[in-house]
Chain A
Amino acid sequence: ETGVTQTPRHLVMGMTNKKSLKCEQHLGHNAMYWYKQSAKKPLELMFVYSLEERVENNSVPSRFSPECPNSSHLFLHLHTLQPEDSALYLCASSQGRGPNYGYTFGSGTRLTVV
């Protein structure tokens, strides 16, 4: 257990469905992130939250909607996704923001859009 828990581990959804991914950390970290990992590609940063405030949104389509109700929880709400959105979605947290703070990653949610 890495300290960052993601649920569900696997998700299959149709293009018209609405689902949510959940991330929880009990490390006392102040920043949380969503990354998308596609096969043979570098991790792509999607959203950054610092002290529950969204501080970065890397041109992610509006069909992805993040929510951070408190410093321990992060959600990614999904609706009307496309097949190309199929990927591993990773949540990470860090104690602070800046190059000296390493990330702790969750195990990810493997998403398949059919």
Chain B
Amino acid sequence: KNQVEQSPQSLIILEGKNCTLQCNYTVSPFSNLRWYKQDTGRGPVSLTIMTFSENTKSNGRYTATLDADTKQSSLHITASQLSDSASYICVVSRTLGNNDMRFGAGTRLTVKP
């Protein structure tokens, strides 16, 4: 079982609507959690990074939340645009080891006009 589980696997919404993507993890000891956006045919690009003490962080229309107690994170997208169509990947890093990053399988978001 993967240590980073994302849901849903895929999601279709209409332009202008909001949506929330979920990430549950069992990675320990926890260092930080990143959300990446990956457009089709491109590499992942970082959206946010959150440490243990941060509950929420925003990047434009993207807002990430973190509950370190329940080991859950969410990415909320407000007023979606067609350009938001992409895969969103949750990545959790451990405090031990160099580059011990655990990747989720991603959520594929499609925004339709």
Binding site for B on A (CB under 8 A): 2, 4, 6, 9, 31, 33, 40-43, 45, 48, 50, 55-56, 90, 92, 94, 97-103, 105-108, 110
Contact = CB atoms under 8 A, between A and B. Distances in A.
A102 B49 contact: yes
Interface string B72-91: 00000000000000000100
A105 B44 contact: yes
Interface in B89-105: 89, 93-95, 98-105
Contacts of A107: 41-43
Contacts of A56: 99
Given A42-B104, A43-B103, A48-B99, A102 B43 contact: no
Contact of A42 (B46, B99, B105): B105
A9 to B, nearest CB: 8
B43 A42 contact: no
Given A41-B105, A50-B98, A98-B98, 6 more contacts: A9-B41, A40-B105, A98-B99, A100-B32, A107-B41, A107-B42
Nearest to A39: B105
Contacts of B64: none
Contacts of A92: 43
